[in-house]
């Protein structure tokens, strides 16, 4: 049987692109082999010269401009577009479900008690995918009765320093405390740099959440940046699977395929409970610090100068859930991380989040997520 020849036009300069490549590699190792033509490059670079004479069977590309689009479409082979930045190409698209990305961000901020919100993205009209993130974030907030401040880029061309000053001026006007989502980690790094230079306290005054979970960028900032893991490995895997079908002559649906993000990786830039009631904020921090230990919620509340009923009432008023529900939310979130990222047994994971009996942990987990820990692990680790 003929070995398929596949060209990959995916940048290696960002973690998102590298994750896509890891997903493609995993697919072809299981279902290949493929003969792959690939040359490391950055997003936005012109089509590589070798593409003019390349003879192959399929292409997976992050199409960022018309020149690249025309170059790959001239080849007359199946092409998967992983960028979705140019409308009207009529190519199969595989990418991120921005609706789920925005919902995850909104819920993350709302769980922390924020009532003021902002979004900082790329210049509107420059990239349809980033515009969608901004539009959806504002729409989600408006549907819940909240306003959202959106950064307006200068109409003049500014150098890096002047752009930073323009951004800082906008940040200074935001209501405090403010939950700010950025379109991606690159923009998040710029926002956090502006906050650092201007002396805006993060996360106390402005909490910043990026998208892509680029480990390098997230730890380059001060403080380290929380970010949404969009699971680019899965997207790369699915793109490779779709290309394989097309190269075999199958005709799957041409509808765009968008996949949900994996989770939020929380770091210091959003690690805050943004409520005015200092008793509630203090209680929430204590529950958070000891959520996975044997310390009970009642033990935490004994240190709060309020009656148990008053503490529960005020906690619900500020955060929309009880102290016990907050502890459970944190424990389940930690269990999901351990199930996805480790090979620890269910019994050990249960112990690590405060349950000595594995049977009870399984019961609680299924009650909250509708599936057992092992079933959850199988579905989440299938392509990792």
DSSP string of 243-275? Answer: HHHHHTT-----S-EEE---EEE--GGG-----
Q: How far apart are CA 182 and CA 188, in angstroms?
A: 5
Q: Which of 193, 199, 191, 100 is nearest to 149 (CA)?
A: 191
pLDDT band at residue 157, thresholds of 50, 70 and 90?
confident
What number is the average pLDDT over the span 37-62?
A: 92
Residues 266-290 have pLDDT tens digits of: 999 998 887 778 888 888 888 888 8
On whether both 148 and 68 belong to a single domain, the answer is: no
Q: Give the CA radius of gyration of the chain.
A: 23
Q: How far is CA 50 from CA 2, 53, 68, 218, 245, in A?
A: 22, 6, 13, 35, 25
On whether both 113 and 218 belong to a single domain, the answer is: yes
Cα 274 to chain centroid distance, Å, stands at 21
Select the more confidently predicted residue: 53 or 44.
Answer: 53
Are 113 and 319 a contacting pair, CB within 8 Å? Answer: yes
On whether both 295 and 355 belong to a single domain, the answer is: yes
Question: Which domain range does residue 86 map to?
Answer: 5-96+232-261
On whether both 52 and 145 belong to a single domain, the answer is: no
Residues 195-236 have pLDDT tens digits of: 999 999 999 999 999 999 999 999 999 999 999 999 999 999
On whether both 122 and 223 belong to a single domain, the answer is: yes
Residue 174, pLDDT above cutoff 50: yes
Cα angle at 204 between 121 and 227, to 5 degrees? 40
Tokens read off for 41? 């490059």
Residues 286-323 have pLDDT tens digits of: 888 888 887 888 888 888 888 888 889 988 888 888 98
Q: How far apart are CA 9 and CA 70, in angstroms?
A: 13
pLDDT of residue 1: 65
Q: Report residue 234: phi and psi, to 5°.
A: -65, -40
On whether both 252 and 297 belong to a single domain, the answer is: no
What number is the average pLDDT over the span 359-370?
A: 93
Q: How far apart are CA 195 and CA 218, in angstroms?
A: 15
CATH number assigned to the domain comprising residue 362 = 1.10.10.60
On whether both 325 and 342 belong to a single domain, the answer is: yes
Residue 382, pLDDT above cutoff 60: no
**Which residues, including other chains, have CB under 8 Å from residue 353's CB and lie 6 or more apart?**
291, 292, 331, 334, 335, 338, 361
Q: Report residue 3: phi and psi, to 5°.
A: -80, 120
Lowest-confidence range among 32-36, 179-183, 249-253, 366-370?
Answer: 249-253
Hunting for tokens 């690590």 — which residue is that?
A: 352
Q: At what angle do helices 185-198 and 160-172 cross, to 10 degrees?
A: 70
Virtual torsion, Cα 198, 202, 207, 210, nearest 10 deg: 80
pLDDT of residue 118: 98
CATH number assigned to the domain comprising residue 53 = 3.40.50.2300
- What order do you get walking across the sheet with 79-81 strand by strand? 35-38, 5-9, 58-61, 79-81
Q: How far apart are CA 210 and CA 191, in angstroms?
A: 10
pLDDT band at residue 30, thresholds of 50, 70 and 90?
very high
On whether both 75 and 104 belong to a single domain, the answer is: no
pLDDT of residue 175: 96
Residue 384, pLDDT above cutoff 80: no
Q: How many domains does the chain have?
A: 3
Residue 158, pLDDT above cutoff 80: no
Are 298 and 290 a contacting pair, CB within 8 Å? Answer: no
On whether both 236 and 171 belong to a single domain, the answer is: no
On whether both 216 and 242 belong to a single domain, the answer is: no
pLDDT band at residue 383, thresholds of 50, 70 and 90?
very low
Residue 193, pLDDT above cutoff 70: yes
Q: What's the mean pLDDT when you consider all of the chain? A: 91
pLDDT of residue 154: 78
On whether both 226 and 243 belong to a single domain, the answer is: no
On whether both 20 and 121 belong to a single domain, the answer is: no
pLDDT of residue 192: 98
């Amino acid at each position: 049987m003929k070995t398929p020849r596949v060209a990959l036009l995916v940048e290696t300069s960002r973690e998102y692109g590298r994750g896509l490549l890891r997903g493609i590699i995993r697919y072809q190792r299981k279902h290949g082999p493929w003969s792959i033509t690939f040359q490391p490059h950055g997003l936005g670079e012109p089509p590589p010269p070798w593409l003019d004479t390349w003879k192959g069977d399929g292409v997976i590309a992050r199409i960022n401009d018309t020149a690249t689009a025309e170059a790959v479409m001239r080849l007359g082979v199946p092409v998967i577009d992983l960028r979705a930045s140019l409308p009207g190409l009529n190519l199969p698209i595989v990418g991120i479900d921005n609706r789920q990305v925005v919902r995850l961000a909104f819920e993350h901020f709302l769980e922390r008690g924020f009532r003021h919100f902002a979004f900082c993205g790329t210049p509107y009209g420059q990239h349809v995918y980033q515009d969608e993130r901004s539009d959806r974030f504002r729409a989600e907030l408006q549907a819940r009765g909240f306003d959202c401040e959106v950064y307006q880029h200068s109409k003049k061309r500014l150098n890096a320093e002047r752009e930073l000053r323009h951004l800082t001026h906008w940040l200074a006007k935001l209501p405090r405390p403010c939950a700010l989502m950025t379109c991606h980690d690159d923009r998040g790094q710029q926002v956090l740099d502006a906050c650092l230079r201007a002396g805006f306290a993060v996360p106390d005054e402005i909490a910043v959440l990026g998208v892509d979970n680029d480990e390098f960028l997230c730890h380059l900032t001060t403080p380290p940046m929380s970010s949404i893991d969009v699971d680019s490995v899965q997207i790369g895997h699915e793109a490779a699977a779709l290309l394989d079908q097309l190269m075999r002559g199958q005709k799957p649906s041409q509808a765009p395929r968008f996949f949900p993000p994996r989770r939020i990786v929380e770091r210091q830039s959003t690690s805050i409970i943004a409520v005015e009631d200092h008793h509630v904020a203090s209680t929430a921090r204590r529950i958070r610090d000891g959520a996975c230990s044997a310390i009970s919620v009642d033990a935490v509340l004994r240190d709060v100068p309020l009656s148990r009923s008053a503490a529960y009432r005020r906690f619900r008023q500020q955060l929309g859930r009880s102290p016990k529900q907050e502890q459970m939310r944190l424990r389940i979130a930690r269990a999901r991380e351990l199930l996805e990222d480790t090979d620890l047994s269910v019994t050990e994971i249960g112990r690590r989040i405060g349950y000595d009996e594995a049977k009870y942990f399984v019961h609680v987990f299924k009650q909250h997520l509708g599936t057992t820990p092992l079933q959850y692990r199988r579905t989440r680790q299938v392509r990792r």
